[in-house]
Amino acid sequence: MPGVEDQKIRLATVWLSGCSGCHMSFLDMDEHLLELQKLVHLVFSPLADHKCFPEGVDVVLVEGAVANTEHLALAQTLRRRSRVVVALGDCAVTGNVPALRNRLDSEGLLQAVYADGERLPGLDPQGEVPQLLPSVLPLHRVIPVDVFLPGCPPAPQSIQAAVGALIQGESFVLPESMRRFG
């Protein structure tokens, strides 16, 4: 017979190219987090110290845009391993501020900072720094997205409503009255 932990919804949160403000808004659910933790098992998140995105995730909240090869690989992995993918916040939904990046001369900058500049011991810029994509992309440009939760950041009430519906297995479309663009 499955234990209580086995019956919990497997929730993940991911931080790509964003400022962490969307995760802060998630934490701003305050006391509702106590209710949430009775229903979900947080299986991957920058709020904890998980290393690998696991199999069998029910709902994943993705903050941030896709800026480099590491983000792209993680986005593709989380899509394969998750039932519901949520684009959390304007950076994931539209690209937002991070989309202004990468059009700079990134090769020249990397050369100046990592190759010509003062070397950090043990740092191999070729091996350690993920390759930037030609442009920063919103999440739906690289993988199918099930739910869009705009806002910069989305209000905690919006996140609470979305997560509450999704962990009950309901579909979710953000009501107009709850949309907040910062």
Size of interface with ligand SF4, in residues (CB under 6 A): 13
Q: Rounded CA gap, 107 and 62, in Å?
A: 28
Task: Report 50-69 residues binding ligand SF4 (CB under 6 A).
Answer: 63-64
Of 9 and 139, which CB lies nearer to ligand SF4 in the complex structure?
139
Is residue 129 within the footprint of ligand SF4 (CB under 6 A)?
A: no
Of these, 39, 42, 97, 161, which contacts ligand SF4 (CB under 6 A)? 97
CB 58 to ligand SF4: min, Å: 22
121: Cα within 13 Å, side-chain hemisphere: 0
Of these, 89, 99, 139, 147, which contacts ligand SF4 (CB under 6 A)? 89
Adjacent-strand bridge partners of 65: 17
CB 104 to ligand SF4: min, Å: 19
Q: Rounded CA gap, 113 and 127, in Å?
A: 15
Q: Give the tokens for residue 11.
A: 């929730």
Handedness of CA 82, 69, 138, 37 (dihedral sign): positive
Is residue 162 within the footprint of ligand SF4 (CB under 6 A)?
A: no
